Amino acid sequence: MRTRRAYVDLTWNGAAVAGKMSGYQKDVTYTDPASGEADSIDVSIHDRGGTWIGPWFPETGDTLAATIKAMDWAGPGDTRILPCGSFVLDNFNFSGWPIAGTISGVSVPADSSFRETERSKTWENVTVEEIGKEIAGRAGVSLSYDVEGGPIQIKTIEQSERTDCDFYMELCSTYGLAMKVYSRKIVVFDREAYKAKGPAATITQDMIQSWNWDRKLAGTYTGGEYTYTDPGTEEEIKVNVGEGPRILKVSGKADNKADAERKIKAAVANANHGASKMSVTIMGTASLVASQCVAVVGMGKLSGKYYIDQITHHIGGSGYTMDLDLSLVE
């Protein structure tokens, strides 16, 4: 009878190295956040023969692609494959004795200017998607824009001594959109729309190896008020959404009432996201990704539908487990 096993196929600078690395690779950790930061990978190795500090010594700009493969997982013939994407070498370290090391990468464009070069530019009469396409093109990657509804129009916005990465991530957040970099793509999506989707899987009590849960009351809101000055008339205008005792008040720039309404809805949603959080460790599945929802059952009043904020995969000598950071969909 075949037993389940999980491993990671690695491609280094475009060349498959799974066979070569099998004698060196110890553990792999792949972190998949839904938004706000880049995916990352850490590969720990042993190097008793000095190969990695010799002819295989990593260089800045090296690339690493990874795929998690779970074989005979739920039973014989059940093969699960999870592409982790492509990573640019970000950090590496070695220690001894014996010689061991860790090779780390992040899923940012190979063009380092995306997150390192500060730019100043006035964007006029553009959409959030058009800005993303230009920034992605400059970084040498593509834009995946998964947002329903009409385009988000912007009359004018300043990028003042900001990197493309920081500027566009903040712009997306202002309009209630999530952004991440994955597999040579800048990915933008509507987190609230994703939270409305059905669960991709069910996590039962007996699946959970360890867990913790917490709820915050401070900093959550029942509605919001956005105050801006009309660019044409100089009149101060207030736009309100929701009602109740806890109102988030924000002031800033807006092109019109519709623009202000979208911004305050996004601000309230951002503040309320993660009011109830759960972290669980389960056996790896190679079938879930951050930004999906899961149903947690058998946990009393802690049960419910949760959005996956981040998954951290651990594959190595201790088997295959996943740490899930979850936010209750309320």
| C-alpha–C-alpha distance, residues 78 and 70, integer Å | 8
Q: H or E stretch including 178? A: strand 177-182
State residue 25's pLDDT score.
67
247 against 73, higher pLDDT: 247
Does the pLDDT of residue 291 top 60, yes or no? yes
3-state secondary structure of 49: coil
Residue 224 identity (one-letter amino acid) = G
Residue indicated by tokens 């460790």 = 281
pLDDT in tens, 190-207: 999 999 999 999 999 999
Contact 294, 322 (CB under 8 A): no
Find the mean pLDDT for residues 4-11: 84
pLDDT at 2 (0 to 100):
66
Give 196 or 71, the one with higher predicted confidence: 196
Q: Parallel, antiparallel, or unpaired: how do β-strands 201-203 and 177-182 relate? A: unpaired
Which pLDDT belongs to residue 111? 63
Nearest to 40 by CA among 320, 311, 326: 311
Distance CA 204, CA 99 (A): 42
- C-alpha dist (Å) from residue 268 to 190, 223, 228, 304: 14, 7, 17, 22
Distance CA 167, CA 249 (A): 23
Closest among 167, 67, 48 to 115, alpha carbons compared: 167
Phi (first) and psi of residue 233, to 5 degrees: -105, -10
Q: Tokens in use for 74? A: 């739920």
Look up residue 246 and give its DSSP letter. -
Q: Look at residue 184 and tell me whether its pLDDT is greater than 60.
A: yes
CA-to-CA separations, 13 to 56, 81, 88, 293, in angstroms, rounded:
12, 21, 10, 34
Helix runs in 204-313, H state only: 257-272
Mean pLDDT of 124-134: 96
**Distance, CA of 93 to CA of 45 (rounded, Å):** 10
Give residue 22's pLDDT band: very low, low, confident or very high (50, 70, 90). low
Write 15-23 long-range contacts (CB < 8 A, 24+). 21/45
Q: In this predicted model, what pLDDT tens digit does every residue of 209-238 receive, in sequence order? A: 999 999 987 778 999 999 999 888 889 999
Residues 222 and 272 sit within 8 Å (Cβ to Cβ): no
Question: Tokens representing 162?
Answer: 């900001």
Average pLDDT over residues 290-298: 96
Q: Which whole number is the average pLDDT over 55-81?
A: 84
pLDDT at 116 over 80: yes
- Confidence at residue 328, expressed as pLDDT on a 0 to 100 scale: 96
Q: Per-residue pLDDT averaged across 132-152, rounded?
A: 92
Cα 47 off chain centre by: 32
1: confidence class by pLDDT, cuts 50, 70, 90: low
pLDDT of 35 over the 80 cut: yes
Of 46-60, 151-165, 213-227, least confident by mean pLDDT is 46-60
User: What fold is seen in the domain 199-214+275-328?
Assistant: Elongation Factor Tu (Ef-tu); domain 3 (2.40.30)
CATH 3.55.50.10: which residues of the chain?
Answer: 113-192
CA distances from 276 to 33, 191, 301 (A): 18, 16, 12
pTM: 0.90
**Where does the chain hold its CATH 2.40.30.150 domain(s)?**
199-214+275-328
Pick the CATH number of 5-106 from 3.30.470, 3.90.660, 2.40.30, 1.20.120: 2.40.30
Encoding tokens for residue 137? 């093109």
Query: Over the stretch 270-282, which tens digit does the pLDDT of each residue have?
Result: 999 999 999 999 9
Q: Which CATH class is domain 113-192?
A: alpha beta
